[in-house]
A and B are shown apart, each in its own frame.
Chain A
Amino acid sequence: MPPVSRTVRIGSAHGLHARPAKLFAQAAKDSGLPVTIAKGSASPVNAASILGVIALGVEKGDYVTLSVEGDGAENLLDTLTELLTTDHDAEA
C-alpha cells in the first residue's frame, strides 16, 4: 500500500509548539502507524517525535505535508489535519 500524503496549513496562533506539538506528536504516536511531517520542501521527520516536530519551527500559516502508510491512513490523516488546523491556543 503506497503512503498517503496531505498538505495542511497550520491554524494554531503559536504555530506547532508546546501544546499543539504535544497533541499532534501524541496522536501520531498513539496511531501506531508510521507518520512523517515535513515543513515546506524540507526533509520529513518522524511525526511521533515531539522534539523533531518542535524543531521544525512551524509557525501559524506555514504549510506542512503529512505522510502515512498502512491501514486506516486516510482516517488518521483526517484526525491529524483536524489537530493541525485548529487554533488550540484559542480554546484556553
Chain B
Amino acid sequence: MSESLVSRELRGVGIGLGVAQGPVARMAEPAPAPSDAPSTLTGDEEKARVADAVAAVARELESRGAQAGGAAQEVLEAQAMMAEDPSLADEVNARIVQGRTGEFAVFDAFASFRDQLTALGGYLGERAADLDDVAQRVIARLRGVPAPGVPDPGHPFVLVAKDLAPADTALLDLDKVLALVTTEGGPTSHTAILAREKSIVAIVGAVEATGLRDGETVIVDAAAGVVTTDPTADELARAGHRAADRAAAASAPITDGALADGTAIPLLANLGNADAAAEAVALGAEGVGLFRTEFLFLSANQAPTVEQQREAYTKLLAAFPGKKVVVRVLDAGADKPLAFLNDAHEENPALGLRGIRALRASEDILREQLTALAEADAATDADLWVMAPMVATVEETKYFVDLARDYGIKTAGVMVEVPSSALLADRVLTHADFASIGTNDLTQYTMAADRLLGSVAGFQDPWHPAVLRLIREVGDAGRANGKPVGICGEAAADPLLAVVLVGLGATSLSMAPTALADVRATLLQHSLDQARTIASAALAASDAASARTAAQAAAAQA
C-alpha cells in the first residue's frame, strides 16, 4: 500500500501555486554519435533508407513551419531544404558507397557542411545549429527513436525534461505546454525562471520523473510540489476545479494588496529595465520594490555616463507617477562581475568585493549613480527610494545613507541580505529609512550554500526556519523603529510564504509582476493575526519542508 503511494506521487520543488493536468511528452536526449562500423545492408538499401528519412524529416519540418507561421516558418522551411539538399545527398551517398551505415553517412556529411559554416563564422556559424538539428532529426528517424529537443506531439502536453536549456525554451510553444516537470535543476534553474516569468505550472528537481512515459496522464500540482501519476477521475476533477478557481483569481479585479482585515500590504514589482514597467502596471503593481540597475552596466566595458543613466531612470520613474519606486544602486560581483569595478580573481566571489563593498572601492561610480538618480527624481513625480545592496554592517549603512542624503536622495535604505545586518537590524534601521530583505542572498548566506551551485541547491529554500527567524528580527526592528520593511526576493512570489513574511513583519512585498495575482488573492484570505499565527507555525519547525507543511496546516485552520 505504502509502495503504491510512493510510486503514484513524485516529489519535486513546485514553482508558484498552479495545478495542471495532461499527457506527458518527454524531451528526448541527444543521441550518441553513430559509429563508423561497416553497414550490413547494401549501398542501395542504405541510400533508400536515408532518402525516406530525409523526406520524412523535410515534410515534418514543413508542416511544423506551416503551423508556426511567420519568421519560424521561414527557418523551418529552410531547414527542410537543408535536409533535402542535393550537395548534401551527394556527400551522404559517397560515404554509403564506402560501406558506411546511413546513420554514419548522414552524421559525417552534415558535420562536414557544419564545419564549413562554422569556419565562416558570425551569422553563418549560427546556422550550423540549424544544420545540427536537421542531422539529429534524420539520424533519429533512421534509428526509429524520437527526435531530440522539444517534442511536438500535436496536442497540448506536460513537458518532462532533464532541464531546459535557453535554446529549448526559445523554441517552446507556450500555448501547447500545460506544465513543466524537470528531473534536475532547482528553484533558480533556467526552467524555474521561465516558469515564473510566463506563469507556467512547473515542478523542478523531480528526480523520479525520469520514469514517466510519453502519453500517460499526470497531475502537476506546483503548490504541493507533487506530480501524481495514474490519477483517479476524482483527482482529475478536483485539479480541474482548482485550476479554474485560479484562473478566476487571475482575472479577478485588481485591487491594492491587502489582508482580509484590510491591512494594506503594497504589492510592488521587481524590474530589471524600464521597458517592463507598463506590463507591471497592467498586472496591478502599486510601484516598484526592486529596480535593478545592473542592465545599464553589464553590457558596457565602462560605466555609463550620468546622462545615460539619468535618461534610463527618468523613463522608469515617469511610468509610476505618485508611486513608490525603490532603485537599488549597482550590485556587481559574484554572479554579475563587472571588469571596471572589480577584475580581481576571487576564490569566493559571493563573499568578496561585491555590492556596496565594490561601490565603496570605486566611489565615483556610486556618486555618479546617485547624481543621476537625484536628477531623474527632480524631473518626475514618482516617490524615489534608493537602497544599497549587500550591506553587512551598521557602519556601511550610515556611509550609504549619509552619501545618498548629500546628493538629495530623500529616502535611503539598505538591503538586508547578510545575516549580520538582519541580526543588527534594530541598529541598522536607526540610520536607514527602510530595509528591503533580499531573500535569495539571505538564504545563501544563512545556509552557507552557493545559490549558483547545483550540488547544494537543496539548501536554497527561504522557508528554512533559520532564514525566517532572521526575517523576524528585521520585521521586529522595523516595527520598533517605525520603519518599513519590504521583501524583494523570490520568496515574496510564493503566495503562502508571502503570508508568512507579512506575519513576520514585512510591510510590502515585491515580486515578478506575473506573481502578483496569486499573492494578492492569497493575502486576501488571511487577517494580520492569522498571518502571525501561520508565521509562528513555520518558525517552530526544524527544517524548510516541515515549515512549509506547518504553514499549510495553520493556513487551512485559519
B55 within 8 A of A: no
- A52-B120 contact in complex given A18-B74, A22-B77, A22-B78, C-beta closer than 8 Å: no
B32 beta carbon closer than 8 Å to chain A = no
Q: Contact between A51 and B131 (Cβ–Cβ < 8 Å)?
A: yes
Q: Are B88 and A51 in contact (CB under 8 A)?
A: yes
> Do A50 and B117 form a contact, CB below 8 Å, given A45-B87, A57-B124?
no
- Residue A65 at the chain B interface, CB threshold 8 Å: no
Residues of A within 8 A of B123 (CB): 14, 17-18
- Cross-chain contact B86 with A17 (CB below 8 angstroms): no
Residues of A within 8 A of B88 (CB): 49, 51
A51 to B115 alpha-carbon distance, docked (Å): 12
**CB–CB B85/A50 < 8 A:** yes
CB atoms of B81 and A22 under 8 A apart: yes
Q: Which residues of chain A from 1 to 48 have any CB-CB distance to chain B below 8 Å in the complex?
A: 14, 17-19, 21-22, 25-26, 29, 45-46, 48
Question: Given A49-B88, A50-B85: A55 and B78 within 8 A (CB)?
Answer: no
A22 near B74: Cβ-Cβ < 8 Å: yes
Nearest CB in chain A to that of B87: its residue = A49
Interface centre among A21, A52, A54, A57 (most CB of B within 10 A): A54
Checking B74, B81, B116 against A55 with a beta-carbon cut-off of 8 angstroms, the contacting residue is B116
What are the residues of chain B within 8 A of A57 when measuring CB–CB?
A: 120, 124
- Identify whether the interface residues of B are mostly helix, strand, loop, or mixed: helix
Contact in complex: A54, B117 (CB < 8 Å): yes
Q: A17-B123, A54-B124, A55-B113 are in contact. Are A46 and B77 (CB under 8 A)?
A: no
* Per-position binary interface string of chain B over residues 118-161, scored 1 when its CB falls under 8 Å from any chain A CB and 0 otherwise: 00100110010001000000000000000000000000000000
CB B367 to nearest CB in A, in angstroms, measures: 44
Cα(A18)–Cα(B76), bound, Å: 11
Evaluate contact between A51 and B124: CB separation under 8 angstroms. Answer: no
Q: Closest B residue to A47 by CB, please name it.
A: B86
Residue of A nearest to B77 (CB): A22
Chain B residues lying within 8 Å of A45, measured Cβ to Cβ, are: 87
Return the CB mask of B55-83 against A: 1 if under 8 Å, else 0: 00000000000000000001001100110
CA distance A18 to B124 in the complex (A): 9
Chain A residues with CB under 8 Å of B117's CB are 51, 54-55
For A18, the chain B residues whose CB sits under 8 A away are 74, 78, 123, 127
Q: A55-B116, A55-B117 are in contact. Are A50 and B124 (CB under 8 A)?
A: no
Residues of A within 8 A of B86 (CB): 29, 46, 48-49
Number of contact residues on A: which range applies? 10 to 19
Residue numbers in B under 8 Å from A46 (CB-CB): 86-87
Tell me which residues across on chain A come within 8 A of B87, comparing CB atoms. Answer: 45-46, 49, 51-52
CA distance A6 to B81 in the complex (A): 25
A18 to B75, CA, bound (A): 8
B120 close to A49 (CB less than 8 A): no
Residues of chain B within 8 A of A19, CB atoms compared:
74, 78
Instruction: State how many angstroms separate the Cβ of A21 from the closest Cβ of chain B.
Output: 8
**Contact A26 B113, CB 8 Å, known A19-B74, A54-B124, A55-B120:** no
A29, B78: Cα distance in complex, Å: 13
Nearest chain B residue, comparing its CB with the CB of A28: B86
CA–CA, A46 to B86, complex, Å? 8
CB of B284 to closest CB in A, whole Å: 36
CB distance from A56 to the nearest CB of B (A): 9
Of the residues A14, A17, A51, contact of B85 by C-beta under 8 Å: A51
A42 CB → nearest B CB, Å: 13
Enumerate chain B residues within 8 angstroms of A55, measured Cβ to Cβ: 113, 116-117, 120, 124
Name, among A25, A49, A51, the residue most crowded by chain B CB atoms within 10 Å (CB to CB): A51
Which residues on B sit within 8 Å (CB–CB) of A48? 86
- Whole-angstrom distance between the alpha carbons of A54 and B123 in the complex? 10
CA distance A8 to B86 in the complex (A): 23
A33 to chain B, nearest CB (A): 13
How long is the Cα–Cα vector from A14 to B122 in the complex, in angstroms?
Answer: 12
Between A18, A25, A50, A52, the greatest number of chain B beta carbons within 10 A of the residue's beta carbon is seen for A50
Kindly list the 4 A-B residue pairs having the minimum CB-CB distance in the complex, ordered from nearest. Answer: A49-B87, A50-B81, A22-B78, A52-B87
Q: A29-B81, A51-B117, A52-B85 are in contact. List 10 more A-B contacts (CB 8 A).
A: A17-B123, A18-B123, A19-B78, A22-B81, A29-B86, A46-B86, A50-B78, A51-B85, A54-B117, A57-B124
